[in-house]
A and B are shown apart, each in its own frame.
Chain A
Amino acid sequence: MVLKYLTVLLVCQLLGEVISRAAGLPVPGPVIGMALLFVGLMLRGGVPDGLRTTAGGLLDHLGLLFVPAGVGVMLHLPRLADEYPAIVTALIGSTLLAIVVTGVIIKLMSRSGQDGTTP
């Protein structure tokens, strides 16, 4: 069951990689794979239980999958030491600005759409 849906995920990713390279798209293969699976679910009209379990298993431990690449920070310590004022300010500033812009736009547009007129 789980093996079958792990295969489905890998096939979607593989197709995504092929499409990304063949069409010279700026989108990474796994993202195209995600779009393919999404379209597949729309066509099928539901998520099979086995796929829900398999996807849940991967996404429940999503954090773990970041660790090997993250340990690569040790290769970048000189850069971080040199550039930390710019990096810290850019990270905090841009993240909070993005949160404010996104939240305020939804708040304003939802309010104007509340009088029965669907936007």
Chain B
Amino acid sequence: MSERVADIWVYLAASPLTALTLTLVAYQLGTWLFRASGGMALLNPVLLAILALASLLWATGTAYETFFAGAQFVHFLLGPATVALAVPLYRQFHQVRRSAAALMAALLCGSLTAAGTAVGIGWLLGASRETLLSLAPKSATTPIAMGVAEQLGGLPSLTAVLVILTGIVGAVMGPAVLRLVRVRDQRAAGFAIGLASHGIGTARAFQMGEVAGAFSGLAMGLNGLATAVLVPLLFGLMRGLLF
């Protein structure tokens, strides 16, 4: 009997099915907790799922590579999901034309500020080269940020974590900071939060109102593009100064 249990354990520990199932279960448990708390930003479902799964792997002595062999089927969908961002971008495009100049100026400055100050502050406080390269694209949505980090020579899996933490910072502290500098316009507030803190910020902006949410989603898409183009360029300029 115990031999059979051991056989089953060997099967489960190595099977992609286990990793995939646990990923879906952990995320849905996280979502349930998030909702049960009334949407507490710190109980972010992504963060909860990551903590639960990492703890489980650590407790059972399972290698990350074994887990990822199964979870990669979920990870793969990040590519098509990035392409799918074109749909909300297209649907909100008519709203943008009127204030296009202001939005483009804000996009350029905001995107450069997000990447430049992250690398600058990290460098001043003695972060390592790989950490700095992984920090640079952290305001973009995860698939884009990971792609850019990989290209720069950073660590995509570290970037994924930094992106999620960035989203939580923007969602929790963004609205208060905007009140402090007297930005009350819903379009400006939404665009700012979405630019700096992508999807997690966008979820928060939708709580402020539909206009803020729409502009936040737009800013998330645009900053994804801007980060993919500007951060490698910025990195080329800063490389000479910092490294």
Q: How far is the CB of A65 from chain B (nearest CB, A)?
A: 5
- The main secondary structure of chain B at its interface with chain A is helix
**B75 at interface (Cβ–Cβ under 8 A)?**
yes
Interface of A, helix, strand, loop or mixed by DSSP? helix
CA distance A44 to B214 in the complex (A): 22
Instruction: List the A side residues contacting B68 at CB < 8 Å.
Output: 68, 71-72
User: Is B117 an interface residue when CB atoms closer than 8 A count as contact?
Assistant: yes
Query: CB-CB < 8 A to B53: which residues of A?
Result: 67, 71
Contact with B along A65-80 (1 / 0, CB 8 A): 1111111111110010
A63 touches B199 (CB 8 A): yes
Cα A118 to Cα B53 in complex, Å, equals 52
* B196 neighbours in A (Cβ, 8 Å): 95-96, 98-99, 102
Residue tally, chain B, CB below 8 Å to A: 116
Question: Considering the complex, which residues of chain B in the window 95-141 have a beta carbon less than 8 Å from any beta carbon of chain A?
Answer: 98-103, 105-107, 109-111, 113-122, 125-128, 130-131, 135, 138-139, 141
Cβ contacts under 8 Å, B74 to chain A:
64-65, 67-68
Q: Are A9 and B113 within 8 A (Cβ)?
A: no
Residue A55 interfacial (CB < 8 Å): yes
Alpha-carbon gap, A27 to B226, bound state (A): 10
In the complex, residue of chain B having the shortest beta-carbon distance to the beta carbon of A26: B232
Contact A74–B80 (Cβ < 8 Å): no
Q: Is A58 an interface residue when CB atoms closer than 8 A count as contact?
A: yes
B139 touching A95 by the CB < 8 A rule? Answer: yes
Contact residue among B102, B113, B119 (Cβ-Cβ distance under 8 Å from A101): B113
Q: A65-B75, A72-B160, A103-B188 are in contact. Are A96 and B113 (CB under 8 A)?
A: no
5 further interface pairs, Cβ-Cβ under 8 Å (given A67-B23, A107-B185): A26-B232, A34-B84, A52-B87, A94-B114, A101-B110
A-B contact pairs, 28 of them (CB 8 A): A6-B80, A9-B84, A26-B232, A27-B229, A30-B79, A34-B82, A38-B86, A59-B88, A63-B27, A63-B45, A64-B46, A65-B78, A66-B78, A68-B67, A73-B50, A76-B155, A76-B161, A86-B125, A90-B118, A90-B125, A95-B139, A95-B197, A98-B196, A99-B170, A101-B109, A103-B106, A103-B181, A106-B103
